[in-house]
Amino acid sequence: MRITGPGSGRSNSSTSAVFFFLCFYRETVNKIMQLHFTKDVLPDSVSTDFQNLNKFNEQQFLRLIEILFQFLLEPKESDRFMQQLSAFAGDHGMSAGPLRNLMKSVLLVPQGALKKNLSQEQIKEDLVTLGLNEDKADVFSQQWAEHYAVLSRLAVRQTLMVNQLVDMDWKFGVIHFYPLLNVWLQLKLVIRKGNSTENVYMELTLPQFYHFLHEMERAKASMDCFS
């Protein structure tokens, strides 16, 4: 025979109420936190990690951003990336494990931003939304703008290395806000993945597009040499 105490019913009811409240709270927070770089639901730890970045002084933060972008520019150097973080942690009396986890959270932003071709302003908005203060978000977004062209080329190169390029197309666009005139170009790559194809879109400025064409011409010349 199962014996139920007088408060058991209320306890189960309270547990259910707490559960539904937490679900409602999490969904509400996700709606409020509108991010450009991802539409996925992020763990609470990601926002906590960005808030913890505010605890670093200016010199420490600049060094971490330098390490981060060095890894983004040379993604094959993962061992060096981890070693640099361990050295940084040792120099500042920190544990290497938590710092590595923090930087993994930070990496989510530039990696997602590359896929969506985010601007400097959009990156900064996302960083502030995640809890980074204005000054540090400004420094980070400036570094993003400085390295964006190279990072975009690396992303395209990686896509073409992994997948077969079937077709490529582009179209120009103009945004006119007097007296400013902004000309951009949308690049469409059709790549083959297994038995299906997928469209990959990128937005480039004119200088970035001209540089991309130059790189494609160099690649064609190299292929012609082997033909």
Domains of the chain: 27-156 (no CATH), 163-226 (2.30.31)
Tokens read off for 5: 């105490």
Q: How does DSSP assign 20-64, residue by residue? A: HHHHHHHHHHHHHS--SS--SPPPHHHHHHHHHHTTS-HHHHHHH
Are 147 and 69 in contact, with CB atoms under 8 Å apart? yes
Q: How many residues are recorded in the chain?
A: 227
**Matching residue, tokens 């999490």:** 26
Spatial distance between the Cα atoms of 27 and 25, rounded to a whole number of angstroms:
6
Spatial distance between the Cα atoms of 21 and 5, rounded to a whole number of angstroms:
25
pLDDT at 34 (0 to 100): 84
Of the two residues 29 and 36, the one the predictor is more confident about is 36
First to last CA, the chain: 84
Average pLDDT over residues 171-198: 75
Instruction: Say how many CA atoms lie within 13 Å of 15 toward its Cβ.
Output: 6
Which of 189, 185, 165, 187 lies closest to 175 in space, CA to CA? 185
Ordered strands of the 180-193 beta sheet: 164-177, 180-193, 196-205
pLDDT at 1 (0 to 100): 38
Q: What is the overall mean pLDDT for the chain?
A: 80
- Reported as a single tens digit per residue, the pLDDT across 88-145 is 999 999 999 999 999 999 999 998 898 888 889 999 999 999 999 999 999 999 999 9
Q: How does DSSP assign 78-141, residue by residue? A: HHHHHHHHHHHHHHTT--HHHHHHHHHHHHHHHHHHHHHT--HHHHHHHHHHHT--HHHHHHHH
Is residue 189 within a helix (H) or strand (E), and if so which, with residue range?
strand 180-193
The DSSP symbol for 42 reads P
Of the two residues 101 and 199, the one the predictor is more confident about is 101
149 — pLDDT class (breaks 50, 70, 90): confident
Neighbours of 203 (CB within 10 A): 16
Spatial distance between the Cα atoms of 21 and 19, rounded to a whole number of angstroms:
5
204 — pLDDT class (breaks 50, 70, 90): confident
